[in-house]
Structure 1
Amino acid sequence: MSEAYLKSFQSYLSLERSMSPHTVEAYLHDVRFLFAYLNERELSFRQVQLPDLQEFLVSFAATGLSANSQARVLSGVKSFFRFLLLEREIDDDPTQLLESPKLTRPLPVVLSVEEIDSMIACIDHSKPEGQRNRAIIEVMYSCGLRVSELTGLQLSGLFLDIDLIRVRGKGDKERLIPIGTSAIRQIELYRDAVRCHVPVQPSCSDVLFLNRRGGSLSRVSVFNIIKDLALKAGIRKNIHPHTLRHSFATHLVTNGADLRAVQEMLGHKSITTTEIYTHLDKAYLRTVLEQFHPRYHG
C-alpha cells in the first residue's frame, strides 16, 4: 500500500511541483523512513497526530543529523501530508504546527575580480576547448548562471544584438538576463570559430556549449573545468561552478546594485534568498576595516 502512495507522491513532486529528480529522490527517501517509523508503532498516516511527528523528528535528530538535514526531512514530510490533503486521503494536515530546526546559514565562498582574471589567464587557448572554457567562465560570471542553466543554454536563446540571453531555471521557468560585452565577444568567438567545427549530435543542434563528441556538457564537466582552472591559478578556496554565481551577485551588491534587480537576474523566488549577499557585503566591509583601519584593533 505504501509503495502505491509513494509512486503517486513521486508523480506529484515531479509533474505538479516541478522538482528536480535529486530533490524528489531525497523526499521519497525521507517519507520511506516515516513509513518505517509508523509501521513500528502500528500507525497509519491517517492516524498520525502532531506528537507522533514530533517524536519522529526527535528520533532523526538523535542520529546526529545536522539542522539542515533535519529541515530537509521536515520539508519532505510536510510535502507528503500536503499531497495527502490534496488527494483527500486525510482531512487535516498534522504537520501544520511542526517547527523547523533553526538553521545556521554559512556564507558562500566568493572570488575576487583578480582571482577570476587569474583563472581566465590560465586557460590554454592552444587546445580546441580553450575558447569554449573562456566563454563558459565569462558567461557564468557575467550572468550569474546556475550550472544547469549554463549547460542548457541554447543558440536560439541568444539575443546578443540586444545584450540578452534566455535561460531555463528552476521549475522550468524561463527568464531573460542581460549579458556583458566581454561575455558576448567570447560566445561569438566560440560559436563562430570553434563550435562550427564540432560534429554536432542531432539532439544537440541548438545547444551552445558542446563536448568533444558534439554532445551537451555535463554538470560534472563544468565542475572539473572550474576546479582545474582554480588549481592552476593557485586559488586555495573551495571552488565550484556556483562560486561564480555567488561572485556575480556579491560584486553587484557590493557596488550598490538594487537587491530586487539582483533577485530577478538570479531567478530567486524569494528576496530572502538574495539577502544572503547583503550579509556577504557586510562581511567583506568588516574584513577591509580590520585590514586597513589603523585603530580597528585598538
Structure 2
Amino acid sequence: MDFPYCEEFYNYLKYEKKLEENSIYAYYSDLKEFFSFLDNSKEIDEIDHNDILDFVINLHEKNNNNRSIARKISGLKNYFVFLLKMEYIENNPISDCERPNYEKKLPEFLTLQEVEQLVKIENFDRPDEVRDSCIIEFLYSCGLRASELSNLKISDLSFEMNVLNVVGKGDKQRLVPVGNIAMELLNIYLKNSRVRIAKRYNSTDYIFISKLGKKLSRVSIWEIVKKRALKRG
C-alpha cells in the first residue's frame, strides 16, 4: 500500500534532500510499515503521539533491534517535517520523540556470569539489597543512564506492556522495553522492599528511593553499583 502524499514526499527527498534511490526506498518501506500498522484507521491530520508510541511498541514486540527502530523513527520524523512544511498538517506528532539508543553491550571487563553475580539477591529480607539488585539489572538490561534511572517514576512504567517511558536529555522521551528478569525484580522490589521503606516515611513517586524515602541521586546509584562490585569481587 502507498501512503498519503507519497509522490510529493518522493520529490522532496530526491530533489530537495538529494537522497539516493536506495535511501528513498528505505524511507518508503518504513512508512508503508507504519501506515499498514495504522490500517487506515486515521486521516493523516488525526495521527497523534500515541500512534507513534504504539507503533514503536509494536516494533519492539516484533523483536526489531534498536538500530532498526531508530532508522524507522528517523524516517517518520522526516516525513512529518515535510507534511508540516507543506502545511498538510498543523501539528507534528513525532516532534518530541527521541530515537532509542543503539543496543549497548556489556563492558568488556564484565562477563554475563559476573553481571548475574552482581544482580543476585542473597537476602530477600533486606530491602536495600533487593533495590540494589533491581538497579543494576535496569542499568545493564535497559541501557539506562544513572540520571535516567534516578528520575524514573512509577507512572513512567507500563506494567501491561513492560515498557518504560524514559525522559532523557533535553526532556526528550523514548520508549525502553523491560525484560522479564528486570520486571520480576521490579515487582519484588515494589511489592516488598519499597513498600516497607515507604511505610516509614512520606515517600515519592520515584521508583528507586533511599532508606529515608527520598529519590536516589545519580551519584548514589553509582556508589551502590561500586559497593556491590567490591563486595562480590
- Under a length normalisation based on structure 1, what TM-score does the superposition of the two structures give? 0.39
